[in-house]
Chains A and B, each alone.
Chain A
Amino acid sequence: MDSVIPSETNPFGYPETIWRLFQETPRAGGFPPDTEGVVTGEAGSHASRAVLRLQLRFDEKGRVADARFRAYGCPSTIAVGAWIAGWCLGKTAFTLSGLQSADLRQTLEISYDRAHCAMVGEDALRAALDRYSGEQKT
């Protein structure tokens, strides 16, 4: 048999959005240290095999000008990070604080047994927003 044959896309049957974000991982990475207006939020644990670090750069008007993420975990966890980083752009902290893990589950078609991936997303965003509101007060 010929061991090389053309392959199909998404052979493992992940939801399309998750598969695209996992493959392309837009906004993966982090901002250089000391970048102005950046807050970082992290959630999850190594032991639970899902860790998400989210970085948001706010402009002077309080809107997210840019975002980056890093993730360790299954494709759903990675897709959650990429999706949040894109969704944040142009939004204020107030708008962002409305995001629930259930919204993530629905938007990314995350099955119930993978609910923790969405929760890690919500938690990382919340941690970043807490940092942001803390810095605004000082």
Chain B
Amino acid sequence: MPIYFDHNATTPLDPRVLEAMQPYLAGPYGNPSSLHRYGRAARDAVEAARAQVAALAGAQPGEVVWTSGGTESDNLALQGATEGQRPTRVLYGATEHPAVLETAEALRGHGWVVETIAIDGDGLVDWPAFEAQLARGPLRIAALMAANNETGVIHDVGRAAGLVRAAGLVRAAGGLLLCDAVQAAGKIPLDFAACGADLMSLSAHKLYGPKGVGALLRKAEVELAPLLHGGGQERGLRGGTENVAGIVGFGAAAELARTGLEARAAHCLALRERLAAGLHGLPGVTIFGERAPRLPNTLQFALKGWEGEALLMALDRKGIAVSSGSACSSGKGEPSHVLLGMGLPRDLAYGAIRVSLGQDNTAAEIDRFLVVLAELRMAAAA
């Protein structure tokens, strides 16, 4: 059985989540838009899950819009907030996920001014620069992730929201803040009501839920144009027959994440500290974002003399699954845009390896990983 250290790419489904999904996978459950009894049973299940997902993120059920995953949520937020608007300015953090980055960049073609928010070498927002940037002109939407998928660095979303709001007051035309919380959800507490973000993206499969389902949280007063037209589901915001089993699974996973959050975080943090201590014992190791607050389960590092892809493959042969960056950009031969965004040199970025831990990892697996890493180092040196 391989050691799985890639929970930020995706998590296994919690067996209790599968149990909750089973009746909706196999059973005679209908299309939630149908009026008959099968349809209404599906509708009830979808609404119960909506409340569970809302509770995880400190949101109201009415603020939850179902999507096919984090990528669609980010697209719906950025495309939906800009479509039909007079083009002004869109900002996104230099270390955002490709779903935010690529969507924002595509807006250039529609006349928008698109700028990155500067991120420092620790992976944190350069606040004075951000404030000055906000003062330079009007803003439609800014995107800042709750926590980075590669380094695990946690952003102060509340502070960003405060600055965006203050800049809006000066200009009497407030910009919106999108918070991509795909990696943060289930790992650190989220409070959509209090953090000040207008939109928040979530994904089920990063928190032991099923793939193919996600949500966008939206404050009631935020106007969005739909991304998927047709059918009128999700109050016209997102057409398409609901993925009932997936949504039910997301709800169950959210419930487990909410009730088990502290225990999971403590478990992962203890393992990560064990890993960090071991890595510090090896020469030539750089841990990224180490001085910043980070997700308890994430550690990204580089080992001098190793290219990330090569180390990933070597570890894979030893039965250890890690990532060299985000899964989406794996195999593209490009260094992590996250590390480049933090201003780190290319050769160091090329060396990046991400370990992301989960609830089933053990101290023995950490120890095994450290042994294998030491062996690989020795072999390379020989």
**Which residue in A1, A3, A8 is a CB contact (below 8 Å) of B37?**
A8
| Chain A: minimal CB distance from B37 (Å) | 4
Which residues of A have CB within 8 Å of B27?
Answer: 1
Number of chain B residues whose Cβ lies closer than 8 Å to a Cβ of chain A? 6
Q: Does B40 contact A (CB under 8 A)?
A: yes
- CB contacts under 8 Å to B, within A1-43, are 1-3, 5, 7-8, 11-12
Which residues of A have CB within 8 Å of B37?
Answer: 7-8, 11
Q: Does B28 contact A (CB under 8 A)?
A: yes
Give Cα A7 to B38, complex, Å. 10
Which residues of A have CB within 8 Å of B35?
Answer: 12
Q: Assess the A1–B28 pair: CB atoms within 8 A.
A: yes
| Chain A: minimal CB distance from B149 (Å) | 40
Give the A-B contact count at a CB cut-off of 8 A: 11
Q: Assess the A11–B28 pair: CB atoms within 8 A.
A: no
Give Cα A2 to B36, complex, Å. 17
User: What DSSP secondary structure best describes chain B's contact surface?
Assistant: loop
Which residues of B have CB within 8 Å of A5?
Answer: 28
Which residues of A have CB within 8 Å of B28?
Answer: 1-3, 5
The closest CB in chain B to the CB of A1 belongs to: B28
Which residues of B have CB within 8 Å of A12?
Answer: 35
| Chain B: minimal CB distance from A22 (Å) | 16
Give Cα A1 to B37, complex, Å. 16
Give Cα A6 to B322, complex, Å. 51
| Chain B: minimal CB distance from A117 (Å) | 19
| Chain B: minimal CB distance from A102 (Å) | 29
| Chain B: minimal CB distance from A70 (Å) | 26
Give Cα A13 to B36, complex, Å. 11
The closest CB in chain B to the CB of A12 belongs to: B35
Which residues of A have CB within 8 Å of B40?
Answer: 11
| Chain A: minimal CB distance from B43 (Å) | 11
Give Cα A12 to B40, complex, Å. 9
- CB contacts under 8 Å to B, within A70-94, are none
| Chain B: minimal CB distance from A1 (Å) | 5
- CB contacts under 8 Å to B, within A34-74, are none
| Chain A: minimal CB distance from B30 (Å) | 11
Can you identify 11 A-B contacts, CB atoms within 8 angstroms? Answer: A1-B27, A1-B28, A2-B28, A3-B28, A5-B28, A7-B37, A8-B37, A11-B36, A11-B37, A11-B40, A12-B35
Closest 4 CB pairs of A and B: A11-B37, A1-B28, A8-B37, A7-B37
Further 7 A-B residue pairs, CB within 8 A, beyond A1-B27, A5-B28: A1-B28, A2-B28, A3-B28, A7-B37, A11-B36, A11-B40, A12-B35
